[in-house]
Structure formats: C-alpha cells, structure tokens
Amino acid sequence: MNIGLSYDVVRFEEKALLQSINNLGHKPLPIHVVAREFWINEGNGLDADFIIQRCVSYNRAAATTAIFERSGYIVVNNTQVLRNSADKLLTSCLLARKNVPTPVTAIALNRETALKAARKIGFPVVVKPISGSWGRNIARAFDEQSLLDILELRENMPNPQMKIHYIQEHVDKPERDIRAFYVWGEVPVAIYRVSKNWKTNTALGGKAQPCPVTDELADLVIKAGDAVGGGVLGVDVLESREKGMLVNEVNGVVEFRNTVLVTGYDLPTKIVEKSVEVLKR
C-alpha cells in the first residue's frame, strides 16, 4: 500500500513510522504540510491508500485532515476523532455517555459558577484549558482564593476558550499516571509516567517506566478509545486511591518515543500493521 504520513515537525515518531512502513513492504509518502499548498476543489495529487496524521500542531492536523478527507482519503485519525480527543470538554462528554470512569468534572462559564462547582467537588480542584497539551496552563487550586486568582488570570487571557472553566476533582494518585496505547481496539503497550510533580507529563520531566497491561486496564482503555471513535490513541489513566482507575485524557496524535525506549515494544510497526489490516477490509 501507499501510506501517506502528514507531518509538520519530524520527531522520533515520524521517522519510526516511515521506517516501519518501509520495513513492512509498503511505500511511505511523507507529506510536509507546511511546505505545500492545499486546494479545496481539487485532489491535491496524493497517491495514498490512506494517510497517517502526525502534525504536532492540533490546528494543522485538523485542517489537513479535513482537506484530505474532502479529497476522499482515509486519515488515521479522522476529523471527528481528532476533535473528540483534542477538546477535553467533548472527550469528557463522550466518556461520560459511555459510562467510562473519569474524575468528577464540571464546566462553568463564569467565576461565580466555577466557585460554586468547586465547592461541590471539594478542594483541591484542577482547572484546565479545554484544549492544549503537555500540561500547559493546567492549575491546581487548594482553596477558594487561589481558585479565584486562577480564574481571574484565565478570564484576562485573550483566548475566549479560557473563559470556559473546566474544573475537575484533584485525584490523589501514587506519584505516577498511566499512558496506555489504543490501536484499533487493542491495547498493546502502556507506560507509567512517574514524577514527584503532580503533573506527570513526560514533557515536564515525568520518567517513563514499563506498565503491565492488565485486563482491567485494557478493558478501560478500550472503552475510552471506542467512546471517542477509535483509531490510534493515547489514553491517560489515573490510579485513584479511592476510586480505582479513571480515564483522565485521550490523545489523538500520540507521542510514543519514551514508550518504545523503555518497553522495547515496536509500537510504530503495530500502528502501521493494524491500520493496514483494518483499512484493507
């Protein structure tokens, strides 16, 4: 098959996926999206059986996926899955609809209602932007005053999304969370992200360690992946001391460098193999 790889920046992941495409006997078609023009009313001349979307910028990923789909290409992940996973509010709604356990979450559109919601959840609470990654602009409020300070800062930011307050219970977890990989309905590998920082993102210094994929973890991750629409996803899971495993976030253009390094598992080959198998049908 001819497999397109849509990207803006080349990281370990993009190189590894291109190598896997080659090794499996397929033809890789790198598409450096920032270096080319895209036409809405034409085919854009790509000879791909399907395209793996790897743009690190969400907006570039969403824009080019929409254009590829308009031209008739299948994209992994598709527009709907990208949107469902990039928008935390949408993700939370989809997970709740399928009864996937998550931290208690409320949305408030001004400071007063945000404060009321936080009182009901109980302090500390976590305030997140509804879009964004790598732990950016996520804050923890231990009391009403610190929450009001955070909300004031958010409401003075130019981005109108920051006026939608996504407020979540703070989960007391064992200095780690889990990043598990959902590949077309399977959970082939997972890692712990270990950190003394309450934000365990590896982008913020969290250390990756192998994590066993138990039946309980696999069931939860499959439910979460199915709820946002399937494809290839990273599912972040918190281990609550009181409630057990809770799905925290789902990622639609997932990074896996640290997972490959610490587990030795060939995830890029799994992603290509499984995508070919599913999309051939």
Partner 1 sequence: MPSLNCPVCGASVEVPNDALPGELFECGDCGAQLEYFMDEKNTASLKVAEEVAEDWGQ
How far is the CA of 107 from the CAs of 111, 114, 158, 217, 274, in angstroms? 11, 7, 19, 27, 37
Site size toward partner 1 (CB under 8 A) is 29
Binding region for partner 1 (CB under 8 A) out of 114-122, 146-154, 215-223, 246-254:
246-254
What would the x/- binding string for partner 1 be over residues 126 to 165, using CB under 8 A? -----xxxx-x----------------------x------
What is the C-alpha to C-alpha distance for residues 245 and 254, in angstroms, rounded to an integer? 21
Asked whether 50 and 3 are in contact (CB, 8 A), the reply is yes
Residue 145, token pair as written in the block: 């005053």
234 binds partner 1 (CB under 8 A): yes
Return phi, psi of residue 124, to 5°. -75, 155
What is the C-alpha to C-alpha distance for residues 79 and 50, in angstroms, rounded to an integer? 14
Rounded least distance, CB 213 to partner 1, Å: 20
Binding region for partner 1 (CB under 8 A) out of 10-18, 138-146, 168-176, 265-273:
10-18
Return phi, psi of residue 233, to 5°. -140, 155
Binds partner 1 by CB under 8 A, chosen from 1, 10, 262, 279: 10
Q: Which is nearer to partner 1, 96 or 203 (CB)?
A: 203
Binds partner 1 by CB under 8 A, chosen from 1, 2, 30, 113: 30
Rounded least distance, CB 276 to partner 1, Å: 22
Which amino acid, residue 244? G
Binds partner 1 by CB under 8 A, chosen from 77, 92, 248, 251: 251
Q: Which is nearer to partner 1, 118 or 228 (CB)?
A: 228
What would the x/- binding string for partner 1 be over residues 48 to 67, using CB under 8 A? --------xxxx--------
Binds partner 1 by CB under 8 A, chosen from 254, 260, 267, 271: 254
DSSP 233: E
Binds partner 1 by CB under 8 A, chosen from 3, 14, 184, 237: 14
Rounded least distance, CB 35 to partner 1, Å: 6
Q: In what order do the strands lie in the sheet with 50-53?
A: 27-32, 2-7, 50-53, 75-76
Rounded least distance, CB 120 to partner 1, Å: 30
34 binds partner 1 (CB under 8 A): yes
Task: Kindly tell me the sign of the dihedral angle through the C-alpha atoms of 117, 120, 123, 124.
Answer: negative
Residue 219, token pair as written in the block: 């069931």
Binds partner 1 by CB under 8 A, chosen from 151, 176, 237, 255: 255
Q: Which is nearer to partner 1, 34 or 261 (CB)?
A: 34
Asked whether 247 and 236 are in contact (CB, 8 A), the reply is yes
What is the C-alpha to C-alpha distance for residues 77 and 74, in angstroms, rounded to an integer? 9
Residues 6+ away with beta carbon under 8 Å from 207: 193, 194, 195
Strand segments, DSSP code E, in 72-222 are 75-76, 105-108, 125-128, 139-141, 165-169, 176-183, 190-194, 207-210
Rounded least distance, CB 14 to partner 1, Å: 8
Contact residues toward partner 1 (CB under 8 A) are: 7-11, 14-15, 18, 30, 32, 34-35, 56-59, 131-134, 136, 159, 203, 234, 251-255
